[in-house]
Amino acid sequence: MVQGEWEVAELGAIVRTQLEPYLAEKSPRVKVKGPDVSLSANIATPFALLIHELATNAVKYGALSAPRGEVSLIWQLIEASRERRLRLVWTETGGPPVKPPLKTGFGSYLIGSGLAQAQVERDFRREGLVCTVALSLPEQDAGKG
């Protein structure tokens, strides 16, 4: 949940808000799973835009454009010696065959560079897009883990 004046947002709430029309309660086509993670507004807002853009692309071109397509969104906290990292994996299956885009636009920028401190990898597999986001979390963004 968002607390205060957008000081903190919970990652699960961000994901559920962005994917609400596609979640399992309405359709088994989108599944989400991950621990509680609190994010500061400077990370939460671009994260929400990234998830929204992935969902939009899945509806237009990817797994959610096909009747049997599915999306899985899983995130985890990884403890390292001096930091906590968030790793999120968006996986599409059952959609049309995937090809890397011929041109990139603002949506590609949002996904690839919208979270300046994140490492984002997009794997355009024939069976569906896999997008992995890895990001170091400041102590206040470490969540409950």
Residues 1-10: pLDDT tens digits? 444 465 789 9
Portion of the chain with pLDDT greater than 90, in percent: 58
The full 3-state SS of 8-28, as one line of letters, equals: EEEHHHHHHHHHHHHECCCCC
Portion of the chain with pLDDT greater than 70, in percent: 88
Domain 8-141, CATH among 3.40.80.10, 3.40.50.300, 3.30.565.10, 2.60.40.10: 3.30.565.10
User: Given pLDDT bands bounded at 50, 70 and 90, which one contains residue 135?
Assistant: very high
Residue 134 class from Cβ within 10 Å (0-12 exposed, 13-18 middle, 19+ buried)? middle
pLDDT in the model for residue 145: 45
Bigger pLDDT: 27 vs 61: 61
Residue 1 identity: M
**Neighbouring residues of 86: CB distance < 8 A, sequence distance ≥ 6:** 11, 37, 75, 76, 77, 78, 133, 134, 135, 136, 137
Mean pLDDT in the chain? 86
Q: What are the residue boundaries of the structural domains of the chain, listed by start?
A: 8-141
Is pLDDT at 86 greater than 60 in this prediction? yes
pLDDT in the model for residue 3: 44
Determine the Cα–Cα distance for residues 84 and 43; give it in Å rounded to an integer. Answer: 14
Is pLDDT at 142 greater than 60 in this prediction? no
Instruction: Give just the sign of the alpha carbon dihedral 141, 88, 112, 21.
Output: negative
